Amino acid sequence: MRDLTRARDDMKGQERKARQQLNAFVLRHGHSWPKGKTRWTQSHFNWLESMSFDQSWQQIVLQEYVDAVKAATKRVAGMTDQIMKALQDWNLSPVVDSLVALRGIDKIAATVLLAGLGDISRFDSPRQLMAFLGDEHTSGDKRRQGGITLTGNSHARRMLVECAWSYRFPARQTMHLKRKAVNASEEAKAIAWKAQKRLCGRYRTLTQAGKNTKFVCVAIARELVGFIWDVVRQEMSKVA
C-alpha cells in the first residue's frame, strides 16, 4: 500500500507542475482566469482551448501544455482507483473507515497517513507522534512547539496540512460528514466531533490574532495528529 500511495503522490506532483507550467504560459501572453472561479473544470479547459494566438506554433505549445495537464490528471485518477481496489483487502481497512470520521480526512488521506507512518499505535502518546512529525524544543521550564518539520514522512506531512485546511469553517455535523463516517465506530465519531470543536475554534483564534493562514494550517495539522493517534489507538486494539 505504501508503494501505491507514494506513486500517487508522485503523480500529484507531476500534475501540479504541469498546471503551473500551463498557467505560466497563459499569463505570459496576458490571459488570466477570472478570480474566484474554479480552475481545472470543463469550463476552464474550454476557456483555455478557445484561446487564439498570432503564431501557429504558440497554438501548438498551448495544446501540448493542456494535454500534459489532462494526462497527469488521468494518471492521478488511475492511481486513486488502484488504491481504492487494494483497500478492500487491506487489513487496516477498518481503521481507514474510522479515520474518515475526522473532518478533512477521506479514504485516500487516511490510507496515505497509515501507509506512510506505519503502525501509529506504536507511539505511546500523541506527543510522541507529534514529535516524530513536528519540531519540539525544550528550554528550562518553557517548551516551544513548532510546525511540521522534515522529521518523519513527507507524504504524510503534506497530507496533514491539506486535511487541516478544512477546519477554517465552523464546527458542524453536516450531512456530508455523517455520510462519510457511516462505517466509523462510535468512538471514532466522538473523537471526530471533539476534534472539530477544538480545531475549528483554534483556527478562528489564531486567524483573529493576525497569524498567517499558512502558519495556522500547519499549527492545526500538528494538533490534528493527536486526534488521529487517538482514533488509530482505539481501532488497532480491535484489529489486533
Query: Running along the chain, 240 residues long, what does each successive block of 10 average in pLDDT?
Result: 91 96 95 92 95 92 97 97 94 93 95 83 77 50 43 72 93 93 94 96 95 92 91 78
**117 lies in the same domain as 197:** yes
**83 lies in the same domain as 127:** no
Number of domains in the chain: 2
**125 lies in the same domain as 66:** no
**103 lies in the same domain as 47:** no
Per-residue pLDDT at 233 = 86
Per-residue pLDDT at 234 = 85
Per-residue pLDDT at 145 = 45
**104 lies in the same domain as 20:** no
Per-residue pLDDT at 140 = 38
**104 lies in the same domain as 75:** no
**18 lies in the same domain as 99:** no
**29 lies in the same domain as 99:** no
| Residues of the domain holding 55 | 2-87
Per-residue pLDDT at 31 = 93
**81 lies in the same domain as 97:** no
Map the chain to HEC letters: CHHHHHHHHHHHHHHHHHHHHHHHHHHHCCCCCCCCCCCCCHHHHHHHHCCCCCCHHHHHHHHHHHHHHHHHHHHHHHHHHHHHHHHCCCCCHHHHHHHCCCCCCCHHHHHHHHHHHCCHHHCCCHHHHHHHHEEEEEECCEEEEEEECCCCCHHHHHHHHHHHHHHHCCCCCCHHHHHHCCCCCHHHHHHHHHHHHHHHHHHHHHHHCCCCHHHHHHHHHHHHHHHHHHHHHHHHHHHC
**149 lies in the same domain as 214:** yes
**159 lies in the same domain as 229:** yes
**135 lies in the same domain as 62:** no
Domain closes at, from 41, 72, 87: 87
Per-residue pLDDT at 25 = 96
Per-residue pLDDT at 155 = 76
pTM flag (> 0.85): no
